[in-house]
Amino acid sequence: MLGISDNTVQCQRDLQDLQAPKLNQLVRWHFMARRLLLALLVVFVILLFVPWQQNIQANGRVTTLRPEQRPQMVHATIPGRIEHWYVMEGQPVKKGDTIVRLSEVKVEYFDPNLVQRVSNQVRAKENAILSYQNKIAALEAQIAAMRRERDDKIQQILNKIRQAELKIEADSVAVLQAEVDIQIARRQFDGVKNLYDRGLKSLTEFEEKRAKLQESKAKLVAAENKLAASRNELNINRTELSLTRNEYDNKISKAESEKFSTQSEMHNAQAEANKLRIEQENYSRRAAFYYILAPQDGYVVQAITPGVGEIIKEGDPVVSILSAKPELAVEMYIRPMDVPLIKPGNQVRFLFDGWPAFFFSGWPNISVGTYAGRVVAIDRNISDNGRFRVLVKPDPDDEPWPEALQVGGGVRGIALLNIVPVWYELWRVLNGFPPDLYAWGKKSDEEQKEEGLLPNAPIKKVK
């Protein structure tokens, strides 16, 4: 029964003939199911250790790498009325092609010869400025002549003053001589008088000495009068010198005042001329703004104000233009908690709207129909939708993006992160941890510096 002996047991053969034991035996497929479950368990355990590519998924749209290549509105520089359209929507245009012609709507610009008339006003002001300059030059010449005349006149008076001073000196000497003569004449007169009183001199000699004394007194008085006249003449000359200086200073001041007044008028004329030149240039440039031109090569996307005869204001959009050869890029928006995980140079896989693709998030190498890109920049300010914008350019080392890709198309981006085992990814998801919260395995310092994980690490250059 227990099979511990080589002897056969009769009951074993008896059980084969019974119906109940046959009904209680396991069928063959039960053993196959057990083996299948065991195989699946083994496969599942093996899959737990298969490498898994962590990723961050986000939606975005196709844009351009350079701002000037994005769709832009062409605005009206001046207010006007639309007279004629030269393009149609979807039509390619070159830089400088005429898109719309406008006509004037403001009354002050209706004159067709406005620029020429303002130019004539500018020439008239320039002639007035020239006249002011000539007048200033004439006044300067007049002032210079008056200064020379003043100097000559002053020099002449100074010469007279010098002559008067010399004459005063001579007259002073004459007065001194007259005083000496009087003293001599008085001594002679006194001597003759004593002799006359004693009877030693005659009356005639006495009278002669007295006459000579009187004559000396008369000469002294004449010399003193002449000296006084000379001094008076010196005072007159000095007064004349002061009056001459005052007279010419007044004349020169008056001429300079007139000169400064003329200069002020000239400066006002120059200011008016510059103002007129500005108006002339504005009017001439305004005439060029009647034609709205294409700012760059591209395609007319949409006519914002399509009607003929419609009046548009200054700064109103007229037409939208898209660059002909834009450098395509993708802008995708990621959650704030994922921002620290994205760095410039990280690879991103894209699924573009309209291009079929099969993507395996954990094994991007076996995905089909996806395109690669490299992160170029990350906004430092959060967007209105509560997420951060990431700008991605095509990866030059991978397959190029589709040529038919258009700006504004939808796209789904998958940013590829670290490679970890499947069991670690399952553990992370079950615990609600973000990707890369814990580093899987220890990396060398050189690898961490290359990935920018250590301070003073070199910045990766994105081609």
CA dist 307 and 174 (Å) reads 115
> 54-69+326-450 architecture in CATH?
Beta Barrel (2.40)
Q: Check: pTM over 0.75? Answer yes or no.
A: no
Mean of all residue pLDDT scores within the chain: 80
Amino acid at 451: E
Strand-pairing partners, residue 331, are: 61, 391
Q: What is the CATH number of domain 72-104+290-322?
A: 2.40.50.100
Band of pLDDT at residue 1, cut at 50, 70 and 90: very low
- The whole-number pLDDT of residue 434 equals 66
> What DSSP letter does each residue of 372-434 carry, written as one string?
EEEEEEE-SS--TTSSEEEEEEE-TTSPPPPTT--TT-EEEEEEEEEEEEHHHHHHHHHHTPP
As a whole number of angstroms, the distance between CA 365 and CA 362 comes to 9
**Ranges of each domain in the chain:** 54-69+326-450, 72-104+290-322, 114-288
Contact by Cβ (8 Å): 401, 374: no
pLDDT at res. 441: 46
Q: How is domain 114-288 classified at the CATH fold level?
A: Substrate Binding Domain Of Dnak; Chain:A; Domain 2 (1.20.1270)
Q: How many CB atoms lie within 10 A of CB 377?
A: 15
Which of the two residues, 92 and 107, has the higher pLDDT score?
Answer: 92
Question: What pLDDT, on the 0 to 100 scale, is given for residue 30?
Answer: 62
127-165 pLDDT per residue, tens: 999 999 999 999 999 999 999 999 999 999 899 889 888
Q: Going edge to edge, which strands form the sheet with 298-303?
A: 72-75, 317-323, 298-303, 92-93
Q: Return d(Cα 218, Cα 69) in angstroms, integer.
A: 118
Radius of gyration of the chain (CA): 60
Cα–Cα dist 170/160, whole Å:
15
